A and B are shown apart, each in its own frame.
Chain A
Amino acid sequence: MDKFARDDEVKLIARSQQGDISAFNQLVLHHQQVVYNTVFHLLGNYDTAADVTQDAFISALRAINTYQGKSQFRTWLLRISTNLVYDHWRRIKRYPSESLETITDEEEANTPTLLDTLAQTGPDSNPEENVLTRELQQLIQRGLQELSIDQRTVIVLCDIEGLSYEEIAQATQTALGTVRSRLSRARANLRLYLSQHKELLPRDYRPTNRGIDTH
């Protein structure tokens, strides 16, 4: 927490708990990227992620008085967000035909946008590398969607958002051992998925015959 010092956050939370909407909006401004990014990688759909993110902040405003500072505010927000993602996922499982059609249509409609927006790395490289990067990002995102919702949540929170095991346990309301086992299985499953598409992986990332010293 660099510019946005923890003391400032505590003051803003206190003001929000007293009904100051502008203070709460400052918290939204600071955390909306983290929340949206997490929800997007969990759902794989921009529009749904935006709706769920908005709902998460509304839910957070409703429950702001229940926040007691036992965990970081970011962790608390992510817990609300992941709960809403789980709710959305349960609805999808309950009405699979309707939701599948929706997702397919949206995916087809958003494919160029998805590629454009995901590929923000390597702008100075040649077009071929850029295309490869886009495809690679899309491949990883698809690999994430292949995981179970529990495994996906843990790997997104850990490897994309950089939460510690303890923070993930708080955000997902699970035990530390559960986080550890879900993360290891998520990484192993994703590795298996990527190994089936070696042609899309960059040379540096392709598995070598001999191991590399991990230190």
Chain B
Amino acid sequence: MPLHMSHLTIGQFSAFLDQQLSAPEQSICQTHLNTCADCQQQLTELQQTVLLVRALPRAPLPRSFLLPAEALAEEKADAPPNLVGQAHNRIIVFPSYIHSTMRIASTLVAALGLFFILSGVLTIALPTAEIPLVPTPFAIHVKAKVPSSSSSSSKYPSLTRDSAAPARFGDDPVTTGDSALSSTGGSVNTHQPSSSPNTSQQQPPLSLIRPFFNADTSRGHLGIGLLLFIVGMVGVIHYSLSSRKKHDKHDHCNR
């Protein structure tokens, strides 16, 4: 069957009525319509349908839709909070490279925390094993406050470990802290006896916290490790979630 003899499609009927077909296609359709009664009838019915729709009267306005003068004032009043909101968002939303950097840093902190936990656990589990503690800035800092062990620790790290041995094996970590504090505060006590009750009341919290984070003790390692691990994991989770939200938002915008 030649092309001009095939029946018109739904799309061709509609486009033919609106003269939206290309000139050759329009003439082909016209040629077919001249010879096909069925297509002619369908076209007529479609044309009648279009005429009926076009004959629909306009719906009368129920009221005027003029905006009151206050509408613009309301829009202006609404604007400052929006701007503030946008500025607020700008402050909160960091660039993506900061997110990735912070995530990596958090992972490293968590890994360091794990290392401390493991070292603390190993020293507790293997009390007789000769596991040299890694000299850390914490240890150096604490040792600097204790003049008696500072000279020996710089030369012989193993001796330092021995001096801290009672605390490491869990005898009484508080005693080391107390002794250190009492040695430093001893002169104060002699000169100002009246202030000694105050200082002794303020020291216990410090004396409880300091040995827990003392890098020379196994408990200190556990404490530091736990703290670093928790901080690191919170950072990892936070920045992973925020980057995921960012991706979701991006996908939603692209959709």
One of B64-72, B106-114, B137-145, B154-162 contacting the partner: B64-72
A interface with B by C-beta (< 8 Å)? 19, 21-22, 24-25, 28-29, 32-33, 35-37, 40-41, 46-47, 49-50, 53-54, 57-58, 61-62, 117-121, 136-137, 140-141, 144, 155, 158-160, 165, 180-181, 183-185, 187-188, 190-191, 194-195, 201, 205, 207-215
Nearest chain A CB to B56's CB is how many angstroms away?
A: 6
11 A-B contacts (beta carbon < 8 Å): A24-B67, A28-B65, A50-B63, A58-B71, A62-B75, A118-B59, A180-B15, A180-B20, A187-B50, A208-B41, A214-B17
Report which of A46, A158, A212 forms a contact with B44, defined as CB distance below 8 A: A212
One of B6-14, B190-198, B225-233, B238-246 contacting the partner: B6-14
A211 cross-chain contacts in B, Cβ below 8 A: 33, 37, 39-41, 43-44
Q: By the criterion CB–CB under 8 Å, are B60 and A140 in contact?
A: no
A181 cross-chain contacts in B, Cβ below 8 A: 11
Interface of chain B: mostly helix, strand, loop or mixed: helix
A201 cross-chain contacts in B, Cβ below 8 A: 52
B56 cross-chain contacts in A, Cβ below 8 A: 41, 118, 137, 140-141, 160
Please, which residue of chain A has its CB at the minimum distance from the CB of B47?
A: A214
Given A120-B57, A191-B46: A50 and B66 within 8 A (CB)?
no
Q: Count residues on chain B whose CB falls below 8 Å from chain A CBs.
A: 45
Q: By the criterion CB–CB under 8 Å, are B65 and A159 in contact?
A: no
Q: By the criterion CB–CB under 8 Å, are B44 and A208 in contact?
A: yes
- The total number of A-B Cβ pairs within 8 Å is 138
Interface of chain A: mostly helix, strand, loop or mixed: helix
B interface with A by C-beta (< 8 Å)? 10-11, 13-18, 20, 30, 33, 37, 39-41, 43-67, 69, 71-72, 75-76
A38 CA / B30 CA spacing, docked (Å): 33
Q: By the criterion CB–CB under 8 Å, are A29 and B61 in contact?
A: no
Q: By the criterion CB–CB under 8 Å, are B58 and A33 in contact?
A: yes
Report which of B16, B33, B40, B52 forms a contact with A136, defined as CB distance below 8 A: B52
A47 CA / B62 CA spacing, docked (Å): 8
A21 CA / B72 CA spacing, docked (Å): 7
A201 CA / B60 CA spacing, docked (Å): 24
